[in-house]
Amino acid sequence: MIPKKATLIALALALSATGAWAQYQGRIKGRVLDPSGNPVDKADVMLVSQRTSTIRYDSKTDKEGRFVQVGLMPGYYMLSAKKAGFGPGSKEIKVGVAGEESVEITLKTVDTEEAKSYSAADKSFLKGNKLYTEQKYAEAVSAYGEAVALDPGNWGYRLNLGLSQKKAGQPEAALAAFRKAVELNPESYSANKETGEALATAKQFAEARPFYEKAAALSPDDPDAQYNLGVCLVNVGESEAALPRFQKAVEIKPDYAEAYYQMGTILIGQNKAAEACDSLEKFLALAPTHEKAGIAKQLLEFLKKK
């Protein structure tokens, strides 16, 4: 069923030509079921981009419990389904370029009071999304906190609470929220990535490592996941293991400047001067004004004098 509305503020800014839109034709199709496996008709289905909550799609299931969403930008989305008389269900879905993903969500039956609580939690969550988009992060923290209090088992609420706390300058609270999101949904790329990032920011690289490893395993074709794990490995003294991660990052994204810099410094330590020069030259070609450009130039001068 084609969605009734789609909020595409960021997308409209990013894409100004019909030809550019064509490359983003990702698609999700799915079913919403009750605990007995029967289709749930007219369930509300919401897709929110993990990259920016300004990209949101809403639709309803048909009599077979099916829904379809087309024209999706690549990336991760939080998929939520709800209907009166049921507790909401949610999953994280990755959409590739021109890819199609299939998903099933089973809703559990709840009593009237639980249903009211879930409904109130959903309203608080949507309020938080709006405030986050408006960069009112402290207020978003409050709204997401209300959602968590009403539905403490919802990993998505925890994740968004952590994101708003991070923006509001509350790193310790954000880390706690991200850890809880991972506990509730160990297979979430976003929750693992954010937990690893929060720990790495606090210089707790050994603790960050398993979360970055999980994120890279969940999304092996994501250059940032490979790069972040590589940097983490460098910081725990495992540069040899980090090198393939940076190599993978530039294989996926050939213009990943920072990855070339990291490769260059590791290759210097391995006495591979020619390969190190090649990596550093690519870094400078891609990012001539980068804050590490001066260091890269000094390293190149040293290598070429040898």
User: For residue range 12-70, what is the model confidence (pLDDT) as tens digits?
Assistant: 333 334 444 445 578 899 999 999 999 999 999 999 888 776 788 899 999 999 999 98
Q: Which of 185, 210, 234 is the last residue of a domain?
A: 185
CATH at residue 74: 2.60.40.10
SS3 10: helix
Looking at the fold, whether 22 and 69 belong to one and the same domain comes out as: yes
Q: What is the pLDDT of residue 52?
A: 74
Q: What is the pLDDT of residue 98?
A: 76
Helices (H) and strands (E) in the chain, counts: 13, 8
- Count of CA atoms in the C-beta half-sphere (13 A) of 181: 30
What DSSP string runs through 182-245? HHH-TT-HHHHHHHHHHHHHTT-HHHHHHHHHHHHHH-TT-HHHHHHHHHHHHHTT-HHHHHHH
Q: What is the pLDDT of residue 146?
A: 97
174 within domain boundaries: yes
Looking at the fold, whether 295 and 258 belong to one and the same domain comes out as: yes
Question: Are the C-beta atoms of residues 183 and 192 closer than 8 Å to each other?
Answer: no
193 within domain boundaries: no
57 within domain boundaries: yes
191 within domain boundaries: no
Residue 73 CB contacts under 8 Å (≥ 6 apart), including other chains? 11, 24, 26, 49, 55, 95
Containing domain of residue 172, as a range?
111-185
Looking at residue 150, its amino acid is L
190 within domain boundaries: no
77 within domain boundaries: yes
Residue stretches of the chain with pLDDT short of 50? 1-22
Q: What is the DSSP letter of 73?
A: P
Looking at the fold, whether 98 and 4 belong to one and the same domain comes out as: yes
Looking at the fold, whether 174 and 212 belong to one and the same domain comes out as: no
What DSSP string runs through 157-172? HHHHHHHHHHHTT-HH
Q: What is the pLDDT of residue 153?
A: 92
pTM comes to 0.83
Q: Which of 156, 185, 214 is the last residue of a domain?
A: 185
Rounded CA separation 92/267 (Å): 37
Looking at the fold, whether 101 and 88 belong to one and the same domain comes out as: yes
Q: What is the pLDDT of residue 84?
A: 87
Looking at residue 289, its amino acid is T
Looking at the fold, whether 263 and 178 belong to one and the same domain comes out as: no
Residue 226 CB contacts under 8 Å (≥ 6 apart), including other chains? 216, 220, 245, 246, 248, 249, 252, 259
Number of domains in the chain: 3
Looking at the fold, whether 132 and 56 belong to one and the same domain comes out as: no
Q: Which of 83, 108, 133 is the last residue of a domain?
A: 108
Looking at residue 252, its amino acid is I
Looking at the fold, whether 87 and 149 belong to one and the same domain comes out as: no
CATH at residue 163: 1.25.40.10
Looking at the fold, whether 82 and 181 belong to one and the same domain comes out as: no
197 within domain boundaries: no
Rounded CA separation 210/186 (Å): 12
Rounded CA separation 83/89 (Å): 10
Looking at the fold, whether 49 and 141 belong to one and the same domain comes out as: no
Looking at the fold, whether 49 and 69 belong to one and the same domain comes out as: yes
Among the listed residues 301, 266, 251, the one whose alpha carbon sits nearest the alpha carbon of residue 281: 301
Chain centre to alpha carbon of residue 171: 18
Question: Are the C-beta atoms of residues 88 and 156 closer than 8 Å to each other?
Answer: no
Question: For residue 31, what are its two tokens?
Answer: 């079913």
Q: What is the pLDDT of residue 116?
A: 85
Looking at the fold, whether 102 and 17 belong to one and the same domain comes out as: yes
